[in-house]
Amino acid sequence: MTKAEKVEFVIHELERLYPNTPVPLNHKDPFTLLVAVVLSAQCTDERVNQITPLLFAVADNPYDMAKMTVEEIAAIIRPCGLVPMKSKGIHSFSNTIVNEYNGQVPASFEALEAMPSVGHKTASVVMSQAFGVHAFPVDTHIHRLMFRWGFSNGKSVDKTERDAKRLFARELWNKLHLQIIFYGREYSPARGWDLNRDFITAQIGRKSEINKWATQQKGKAKASLKKARR
């Protein structure tokens, strides 16, 4: 297949598997989404969704969040990890939203990325899912799959994002980035990767990745055989 044909194959298969793409993080508006995305750094979406109801029961808007102390926020979000950074960031950007944006999360990459604890990926998720602005947030799943599929060289997240935006039509970005995440979790994880299940990579994947997987399987088979003969 040519690269263009591979891109079309990926788009077709992901749409077949995931015609609906609900945002994995529970939220009700741009502010609660922003908080949830910040909490999701190095934390599973499942755990974030367990913690945010507790936090939002106390403060589900920037005004109430700004009234909380950093320590009060930290006590609630502790299971999500990176507590000092996240609690200070949430408290600080809540104040910024109240004082500089009349309590409304700004629909601007520049404004979002200027806030504490809000990097480009977080801003991209909020712009994409809360405001419908075309963006392609790159998380670990997308970074991994873009490399496995031979669509990017894996040197940096920024490079992966540029390649994704170049390869895929702009109108697909907001849905497609979620579809790739869903596929990565279900079929092409970092750990326990099984190429027999990962049919997209098996069909179009980078040869070095496929060969590496095959070599690992041979090694496991030899180890099992050696153990059985003892």
Active centre residues (catalytic): 121, 139
Q: How far is CA 66 from CA 37, 96, 100, 101, 184, in A?
A: 18, 9, 13, 13, 36
Q: Is 77 within 8 Å of 83 (Cβ atoms)?
A: yes
H/E segment holding residue 179: helix 173-187
Short-list 168, 198, 182, 145, CA closest to 19: 182
Q: How far apart are CA 166 and CA 158, in angstroms?
A: 12
Q: Is 127 within 8 Å of 112 (Cβ atoms)?
A: yes
Q: Which residue has the tokens 């496929």?
A: 210
Q: Extract long-range pairs of 102-109: CB within 8 Å, 24+ residues apart.
A: 103/61, 103/62, 103/63, 104/30, 105/29, 105/30, 105/31, 105/34, 105/62, 105/130, 107/30, 107/131, 107/133
H/E segment holding residue 52: helix 45-58
Q: Is 35 within 8 Å of 76 (Cβ atoms)?
A: no
